[in-house]
Structure formats: structure tokens, C-alpha cells
Amino acid sequence: MKDFAYAKINLFLAVTGRRPDGYHDIASVMQTVSLCDVVTLDAAASASPSATLTCSIPSLPTDSRNLAVKAAYAFMERAGIAADVKIDIDKHIPIAAGLAGGSADCAAVLRMMNDAFSHPLAARELHELARGLGADVPFCLYGGCAVTRGIGDIIEPCDPLPELPVVIAYPHGKISTADAYRRIDETGASQNAPPIAPMTDALSSRRLPQIADALYNVFESVIDADSEPIAVKRILLDCGAAALMSGSGPSVFAVAENDETAERCRRALARHGYDSVISRPTPSRAI
């Protein structure tokens, strides 16, 4: 069977505190978009559990370090089944880019495993399993648009992003998520976050100017003003789009008012040597 593992963008992202276990609490509005990995899974009952992974990107780990493999083993243990599981990922979401590609693949494996074995896990159990695998995995199970809190495991659906083109740009560098969180802790940047309500109100209004005004990502405040993500954001803003870095970066997205503006963004990025893709918001899905 096959599933589409959709990337996510953060329309709003604030860090609200650090937990005793070292994780950070967040308040975020996440939206899935049509940029996706294609995940194929074959599973058959066997005497003992096994999971193997192939991927279109050779540098990506395909052993137990990969969340998709972890998901297969965790599902079998929770459901009390043994199977020979073969997973293939046709990778299109950039790795470590703030778009939750690994979490999306992980969620896709959980959904397909549940389908393959006639739904031995209820939605609540699948959510709990996802929570133990990664902070973005619970949201990626459902997709669509939602307010997420805690470590990303408390999910409240909200009005989605309007059906507008979303340009996703790929700066060349990498940003360490651990370093970004450390800078937030050191600078106290989390204390300056605006409330999340203006973003949810803006989404309810369906008006792009209001949504643009409510975009916020605390991680932008702890990267250098001359860094690539900020330079890419300026290019997109100059094209007339609403732009923001996604997650801890370095990917930057822009919501455009129409296809012409989206194409103008793409061409401007290409002139500066940046790859990009034009995508669309995707709806939530049942699990």
C-alpha cells in the first residue's frame, strides 16, 4: 500500500517553556502542504518482527535510526503482532529543514500498519504511540491545520489556511535544532512571544493580509540577521508574498495571493540560486 507523507509548515511558533525532561513546550499553528514523500509499505505476518527500509536518498539512514523503521517496530510491539515489513520512501521533503519530513514518514507508516492489520489500535492508542516517537508525529497523523501545544502532542483542529499557493524555498545551509533551542533559552526569546489568538482569528477570516500580520516564528529571533533564511524571506517579501521560516529552519515558506505571485517568487528565488517548490494546503485526514 502507498501513502503520501505531507510536509508541515508553522504559521505560528512560540516556545512557552522548558520541561524537566529537557523537552520544550510550544504553542504552534501547523498546516500540512502538498509537498510530500511517497511511502510504500508491504507487511505480512511472520514468526518474528522485522522491518527493512529503502530510500531514494542514499545518505538517509535506513536502519533503526530512521523514524519510519522505529514506527514499524513500535506498532508491532504495541499491537502484539509479528510481521515482515518492507518500507520504501521516495523522498521529496528536504531533510532537517523544519518541514517534519521524518515525522511525516513515521506517521504514514503508523497509518498503513494499522490499515494493513485491520486497525488493531484505536485512534487514541495510535496517538499515544506517535507521541512516543517524536514531537511532530502526532500532528502528522492527522494533518490539516491545528493548534498544537505541549511538545506538539496536544492538538486542536482550527480553520485551515485558504486554498492559496504556498512556495517553499530551500536555503543551502543547515540549522541545528538543539542549538536553536539553546539560544532561545539563553536569550529569553520565548518571553516576547505574541498571543496565538490573532493567527487563529486570521485563519477564520480567510484574509491573507490578516494572516500575514499574524505570522510568527520565535526561531527567527535567534538567527543572524544576515543568515540565508532571512535573506530568502526578504526575497519572498519583495515579491509581495507573506513569508516566514518554518520550524527551526532553514526552509522558508511564502503564502501567495495567486498563482502569478507564486511564480514570481519561484523565479526570483531561482535567480538567487535557491530551489523551491509551489505547493497547496492539504486537509486533515481520519485515522
Sequence-separated (6 or more) residues with CB below 8 Å from residue 86: 41, 42, 43, 51, 52, 54
Virtual torsion, Cα 215, 128, 71, 43, nearest 10 deg: -120
2 catalytically annotated: no
Return the number of other C-beta atoms located less than 10 Å from residue 185's C-beta. Answer: 13
The neighbouring-strand residues paired with 145 are 31
- The Cα 152–Cα 131 span in angstroms is 8
Nearest Cα to 2, choosing from 42, 35, 57?
42
Sign of the CA dihedral 62, 66, 69, 73? positive
- The Cα 202–Cα 177 span in angstroms is 28
Alpha helices in the chain (DSSP H): 67-79, 101-116, 123-133, 137-142, 177-187, 197-205, 208-214, 228-238, 259-271
Nearest Cα to 251, choosing from 81, 99, 38, 68?
99
Of 3, 8, 91, 153, the active-site residue reads 8
Virtual torsion, Cα 259, 264, 270, 272, nearest 10 deg: -150
Of 3, 37, 136, 153, the active-site residue reads 136
Q: Which residues are catalytic?
A: 8, 136
